[in-house]
Chain A
Amino acid sequence: MAKLIRNLRVETDNWLLLKAGADGTPPAVPAEGDVIVPLSLWQLRKDALAARSGKTAVWLESKDSAEDVAADLHRLPLVAIHFPSIADGRGYSIARLLRERHGYKGEVRAIGAVFKDVLLGMQRCGFDTYALRDGEDADEALRAFDDLADTYQANVVEPLPLFRRRAII
C-alpha cells in the first residue's frame, strides 16, 4: 500500500485508485470500499457511482480543469490531481481554483510525481494529502514542510500576502 501524508503524518491509504486500461477501457469499480475514479468514468456514471455503499472520489489529469468537477463538489469527499512529472505544473492551478474559486472543503490529494521537493508548493496551492510515489522516504519527505517558512504571496495556506500580514503584525 502506498504511503500517504495526511495532517503532516504518514498514514496508510485506504482509497483505491482506479485507472483506465491502456486501451482506454474504463476500470471495473468494486461494489464495496472507497475508490478514486477517473474523471471520464465519473462523467459517464456519476449518479450510480455516488450511490455506491463505499465513498467515491474523482481524479483529474493535469489537462483537466477544476470546472470539470465544479458542479459535483458537494458530493465528492476527495478530488485527486495527477502530476505526470515534476515539470507539469498545471495541477497547482487546478488545486487553487478548487479551493479559492469553488470553495471546496474536501480533501485535495496529489498523486503521481509526488516527492519531497514538491510538497511545500503543493500545500500552499491547497493540497492536503500527498500519495508519495513508490520508493519515496516518507520521513525524509515530511521534513520538506519546514524547508521555507515564509511566503511573500497570498496562497491557500496564507490567504493574505506578506505585505497585508505585516500590516496586521
Chain B
Amino acid sequence: MYTYDEIDQRVVEQRVAQFRDQTRRFLAGTLIEEEFRPLRLRNGLYVQRFAPMLRVAIPYGMLSSRQLRTLAHIARKYDRDYGHFSTRQNIQYNWPKLEEVPDILAELATVQMHAIQTSGNCIRNITADHFGGIAKDEIVDSFVWCEILRQWSTFHPEFNWLPRKFKIAINGASADRTATHVHDIGLHAVRDAGGEIGFRVVVGGGLGRTPVVGPVIREFLPWQHLLTYLEAVLRVYNRYGRRDNLYKARIKILVRETGKDKFTEEVEAEWAHLKDGPNTLLAEEVARIAGRFTKPAYQTLPEHDASFAGQLATDTAFRNWYQRNVFAHKVPGYAAVTLSLKKTGVPPGDATSAQMEAVADLADQYSFGELRVSHEQNLILADVRVSDLHAVWQKAQGLGFATPNIGLLTNIICCPGGDFCSLANAKSIPVAQAIQERFDNLDYLHDIGEVDLNISGCMNACGHHHVGHIGVLGVDKNGEEWYQIEVGGNQGETRAGAANVRGASIGKVIGPSFARAQVPDVIERLITCYIDKRDSEVERFIDVVHRIGIEPFKEYVYGKADPQSPRRNRQLASA
C-alpha cells in the first residue's frame, strides 16, 4: 500500500479546497453549468439520471482496511448505504448531494484518497493487475509503476483537456490480467536479453462504439524513458486527435486514421526531443516510490499445510470455492482470495456499508489490512495464509461473498445501466440477475467452465461487452430496450503459461437483437452449442468459438438447425 508523503497529502487537500470553491461559485451562479461541468467531471462528479454520481479513485485498485471503512462511512452518511465497485477499479456513489461532495472529498483526503481525474477528458486512474506484487509470473511490481504514473498524470498541465478520456493500464506479469490491449495505452513489463526491465507499448486499443485491439508501437521501452515516451504519445494525441466528433475523438481513431506506422513515426519524432530530458526516470525515484509501499510481513511458512489439505479433501463445497476463488501466491504458505461481489440477486459490484466494514475486518484479521478491487468488480484479499483459507471461506459465506464463480459464467461484469446511468439505452443489472438465476446450478456452472460474460447498457461499453466471451449490449429500438449478443471477445491471455495463448479479441454480433426476457434463453442456447461442440472439458467456450467460428452458435440461437438433443434438454431442465 503506497503511503502519502506531505506533498502527496497537500495535493489532495488543496484539490478539495479548489473544488469546494468551484462548487460554491456554481451554487452562487457565478460559474455557469457549461463551465462547471468539465470542472466537476475532473473530480468524478457526474449528474446522472436521478442524482449526481461521484466516482472515487482507487488507484490501481489498492485499498487499506482503513480506507474501506471510510468508503463505508461515506456510503452510510452521504449515500444510500452502498457503493458500486466499477470495472475501472474505482467505487461509485449513486446518490450524493452536490453540495455535500466537497465534504465527502475532505473525508476521503483524511485517508489519502481522492476523486481526481476519475472522469473528464484527461488521464484517468491507472489500472493494474489485481494480483500485482503476489503473482508467481510477475516481472515487475506493477503498483510501483502505477504510482509513478499516478503522480506524473495528476494535474498534468498540458494533458488536462485532451480530445477525450485517456486510460492507461500496466501489466507487470507474463499473463495479461489488465486487458491492456483495449486501453488507450497498455504497458506490458518485459525484460530484454540483458535482463533490463522495460515496457512493450500498446497504443490505441479501446472498447466503446469502435472496439479495437490496440497495436504494439514499441516492443521495448527501457523503464527510464517511460514518462518521456508517454509525454510524446500524449502530445501527438493532444495536438492531432479529432475534436470535431465526440465519437471519433479517442486515440484509437487517430492511430487508425493516421496508420500505425505513421503514428509511430510521429511519436518517435516527438520523443527524440523529449528523450533524456528532465522527466527521464531515476533509479532512486523508483526505489523511493517502492519504499513508500508498506510490505506485508510474511511469515516463513511451509509449502504444505496438513489441516488445509484435509479440509480440501473432505469438504466439497470448500474445494469448489478453492478451485475457483483462490489464486496461487509467490510466497510459500500464502494465497490470494477473491471475494465474489456477484451473488445472484445482487447487482454486480455492489456492496453495502456493512459488507465493506466486514471485509475490512477480514482484511485486518487475515490479510495485513489490505485488499484490492479487480476490474472484474470483485474484492481480493491478496495475502491470506493457506492455513486460514477455510476460516476465511466460512466468514465469506456468512457475508454472501463466497459464490464460487470466479472465471465462470455468473461472474458477470456489468455496468450500472439504465437503472442509474443517464447514458444507458437499456438496463443491465436485471439482465445479469436473470442470467445468474438461470445458471444457478453450481455443478452445471462448473461443468460449463470458464466463460467471461460481460454486459453493457449502451455503446459506451463500460461493461466491457466487446471482450466478454459472451457480450450483451443494451440497444434502443424506438424507445424500447433490446439486447444484442456478441460471442468471441476476449480480454487477453489471463492464464500464466497457457499452452494455447488466446490474445485479446473483439466479439462478433451473432444477429438481430432480443427482448430482455429472451436473453437467458439465448445464453443457454449458446452454452448448449458449446457443450455439444467442445472436444473435451478442457476446451473452453472461447476456444470453441475460435475453432469453429460463430456460425454454429448462430444456428443454435436462431433455430436454423436442431439446436438441442433430447439428452441436452433433460440436462438443461434439471439445471
Q: Which residues of A contact B (CB under 8 A)?
A: 65, 86-90, 92-93, 96, 101, 115, 117, 120-122, 124-125, 137, 140, 147-155, 159-164, 166-167
| Cα A115 to Cα B159 with chains together (Å) | 18
Q: Which residues of B contact A (CB under 8 A)?
A: 7, 10-11, 14-15, 17-18, 21-22, 30-31, 35, 38-39, 121, 151-152, 154-162, 227, 235, 238-239, 243, 273, 277-279, 281-282, 284-285, 288
Partner of A124, one of B10, B157, B288: B157
Residues of A within 8 A of B14 (CB): 147-150
A66 to chain B, nearest CB (A): 10
Contact B282 A153 (CB under 8 A): no
**B18 (CB) vs chain A CBs: closest residue:** A147
| Cα A149 to Cα B162 with chains together (Å) | 23
A157 to chain B, nearest CB (A): 9
List 6 interface pairs A-B (beta carbons < 8 Å), by A numbering: A65-B239, A96-B158, A121-B160, A147-B17, A152-B152, A155-B157
Contact B282 A163 (CB under 8 A): yes
Q: Contacts A160-B278, A163-B285 given: A92-B38 contact, CB under 8 Å?
A: no
Residues of B within 8 A of A155 (CB): 157-158
Residues of A within 8 A of B39 (CB): 117
Contact B158 A92 (CB under 8 A): yes
Contact B38 A86 (CB under 8 A): yes
Partner of A93, one of B151, B238, B281: B238
| Cα A164 to Cα B282 with chains together (Å) | 8
Give the most central of B31, B157, B227: most A CB within 10 Å: B157
**B159 (CB) vs chain A CBs: closest residue:** A89
**A160 (CB) vs chain B CBs: closest residue:** B278
Residues of A within 8 A of B282 (CB): 163-164, 167
Majority DSSP secondary structure for residues of B touching A: helix
Residues of A within 8 A of B18 (CB): 147-148
A78 to chain B, nearest CB (A): 21
Q: Contacts A124-B157, A153-B156 given: A164-B278 contact, CB under 8 Å?
A: yes
| Cα A155 to Cα B155 with chains together (Å) | 11
Contact B15 A163 (CB under 8 A): no
Partner of B154, one of A86, A92, A152, A166: A152
Residues of B within 8 A of A161 (CB): 152, 227, 278-279
A87 to chain B, nearest CB (A): 6
Residues of B within 8 A of A121 (CB): 155, 157-158, 160-161
Contact A87 B160 (CB under 8 A): no
| Cα A163 to Cα B292 with chains together (Å) | 14
A32 to chain B, nearest CB (A): 37
Residues of A within 8 A of B30 (CB): 137, 140
**A136 (CB) vs chain B CBs: closest residue:** B30
B223 to chain A, nearest CB (A): 14
| Cα A115 to Cα B39 with chains together (Å) | 12
| Cα A88 to Cα B243 with chains together (Å) | 8
Q: Contacts A125-B157, A147-B18, A150-B10 given: A89-B279 contact, CB under 8 Å?
A: no
Partner of A89, one of B11, B160, B285, B288: B160
B529 to chain A, nearest CB (A): 47
**A117 (CB) vs chain B CBs: closest residue:** B39
**A94 (CB) vs chain B CBs: closest residue:** B239
| Cα A124 to Cα B156 with chains together (Å) | 9
Residues of B within 8 A of A160 (CB): 278
Contact A88 B284 (CB under 8 A): no
Residues of A within 8 A of B162 (CB): 89
Contact A93 B278 (CB under 8 A): no
Contact A153 B10 (CB under 8 A): no
Q: Shortest 3 CB-CB distances between A and B: which pairs?
A: A89-B161, A124-B157, A163-B285
| Cα A162 to Cα B11 with chains together (Å) | 12
B554 to chain A, nearest CB (A): 42
| Cα A158 to Cα B10 with chains together (Å) | 18
Contact B284 A162 (CB under 8 A): no
| Cα A1 to Cα B157 with chains together (Å) | 29
Contact B7 A150 (CB under 8 A): yes
